[in-house]
Structure formats: structure tokens, C-alpha cells
Amino acid sequence: MNLKAVSACTLLIIVLMTLVSPLTILQASKAEQESLNFGVTYLSTYYNYEQYYLSNKELQRDFSLFKTQGIKTITLALIWAYMEPAQGRYNKAALSNIKRVSKVAEEYDLQVILNFHTLMHEDSWTIPEWLNPRRFQTVFTNDNARAAWLGFLNNTVNSLKDISNIHSWHMMNEPYRGSWACNVSVADYLKLWSDMKAVIRLHSDKLVSIRFAEDSLSKPYHFNRDPRIYDLLDYIAINYYDMHLPENLNATVEDIHNNGKEVMISEFGYNTSDDLFRVRRSTSS
């Protein structure tokens, strides 16, 4: 799912972290609802989002509202094309703004998820223009591209490691297997994720996850809830859209819990118009 352009606190995407029984996402009692942590994806747009880095006054306005509403977490997107506009040249201003937003968030008891938000398809706006071919599969097929991607992670995590209210790192958003995305094996993905986690662990001991589209995690052709994924990640993040069957989500969440991991619903709704419907349905008794 593409991040939607947002200014201030408009078009914010609901996030639920499940800390209770396997089926509580869709069958939550009132007591269970009170134990859920809510958050939002904040300050996101399609490409160059520097204009959306708000002043401290505007951040304080929003975060004060978030605290009143019981929100515990915000997610900030780290987009490769924006953070590394030329190979080896990193956007220091963007990194500084991530630190500033996180510091203000801490004043309102908000934790921060830092999300390496990269889409897979050719000429994706999240892929740097200097990468050739301009698609994420190049990271798998070209050693120099792989080194550049891991170097980007290393620089970013090293630069942001001192943010004291980091909740976790999301290493990738909606990885897919297929000719239009990355025509590689599950083992290839697992090796890359293992290398990415190792880079993060050089600088940070915070939780590590990946944001899976629910269908890509459950479909046999994609990742089929491979238990090696659960072994690698500290918890599992799922982007769940209303077009997908709730019983499929139930089965996926139950499988993840049976493998000893917790689940975060990191996005609701393919379009913002169905977000509220999804939340109501997911927290009904």
C-alpha cells in the first residue's frame, strides 16, 4: 500500500498492536480493547516530504491530541530515494528532522517506529533514480546495489540510534515475490533480511519487524507463513485491507501466535475511506 500524502494530522492510518489472544483483532471484548495500543503513520507523502516536517509548535499540537486520544506510537517513513538522492550522499537534513520529530514525540510519551518504506515494482517512487534497473530486485541481483542498500541502512540506523524513544525498526514494507516485483526465492529474502537485521544490530537493540501485506504472508506462492520468518523477526507486522477475507487474517494471526510471536496491524484499509469501517469491524465484540 502506498503511503498517502498527509499534512498535520489528516488522513492518518490507524495502527493496532495485538497483545492479547490470537483472534482479538477481529473479536475483541471491551476489556481486550482497552489493552490494545493505537498509533498512527505520521508525516508521510509520496516522495519529497520535507515540506511536511512541521514546526515544533505544530508537532506539539498534534502530539498533545494523540496523547489525549490514547495513542502510544507514531510511524515515520524512511524512503531510500529521498534519504540517499545520490549514491553515497545522504540527506542529513531529513535525518535531523526525524530526530527532531522523535524528540518532540517523546515529550508526549509517544514511541517511534522507523519504517524503511520501499515498494518493489519497477520505477517505484521509493527507489533511487541512480539504481539501475530501478526496481528493488536489483538489490538481489547486483552486488553493488546490495552493498548500497545495506550501506543506506547502516548510515541511517547509525545516525538515528540515539533516539531514546524508538519502539522498533520496520526493515521493509510489503515485500512481494513475482515477476512484477522480485522474482527470487523465499531463501533469498531471508538471507537479505538476515543481513539487514545484522546491520541494525551493529547500532541498535530495538525490536525488528517487516510490514507484510496479509495476502503475501499467507499465500503459498509468496511466503506461506514460513516459520523461518518468525525465527528472524521480533514480532510480525501486517498491513490488512478490507478486500481480504477476515478468516484469512484470523488463520495468519493464530499461526503467528502459535509460533510465539506477537502481531502488529501496521495498516488498515487500502483506501482511507474504508479505514474507519475496518477499525469498527475489527474491534467489535
What pLDDT sits at residue 52? 57
Tell me the residue length of the chain: 285
C-alpha 195/C-alpha 208 separation (Å) is 12
What is the residue-level pLDDT of the chain in tens, covering all 285 positions? 333 333 233 223 333 333 222 233 333 444 445 566 778 887 654 444 555 567 889 899 999 999 999 899 999 989 999 999 999 999 998 899 899 999 999 999 999 999 999 888 888 889 999 999 999 999 999 999 999 999 999 999 999 999 999 999 999 999 999 999 999 999 999 999 999 999 999 999 999 999 999 889 988 889 999 999 999 999 999 998 766 667 778 888 999 999 999 999 888 765 544 444 444 444 443
For residue 9, tell me if it sits in a domain: no
Q: 6 in a domain, yes or no?
A: no
Cα–Cα distance, 127 to 7 (Å, whole number): 23
Total domains in the fold of the chain? 1
- For the chain, the first-to-last Cα distance in angstroms comes to 28
Q: Is residue 5 part of a domain?
A: no
- Cα separation of 227 and 221, whole Å? 15
Residue 37, strand partner residues: 17
User: Cα–chain-centroid distance for residue 281?
Assistant: 22
Distance CA 145, CA 243 (A): 35
Cβ count near 275 (within 10 Å): 19
Ranges of H-type helices in 143-264: 143-160, 186-201, 214-218, 227-232, 246-258
Q: How many other β-carbons are positioned within 10 Å of the β-carbon of residue 243? A: 11
The CATH number of residue 176's host domain is: 3.20.20.80
In a domain, 2, yes or no: no
The answer to whether residue 178 is domain-embedded is: yes
Range of the domain at 29: 14-282
- Residue 195, CA distances (Å) to 49, 96, 134, 202, 280 in order: 28, 26, 21, 11, 39
**Would residue 38 count as lying in a domain?**
yes
Instruction: Quickly tell me which residue has 546491520 as its cell.
Output: 199
Q: Is residue 1 part of a domain?
A: no
| Residue 186, pLDDT score | 96
Please give the grid coordinates belonging to residue 55.
514546526
Asked whether residue 199 is domain-assigned, the answer is yes
pLDDT of residue 2: 37
On whether the CB atoms of residues 41 and 75 are closer than 8 A, the answer is: yes
Cα three-residue angle 229-205-78, rounded to 5 degrees: 75
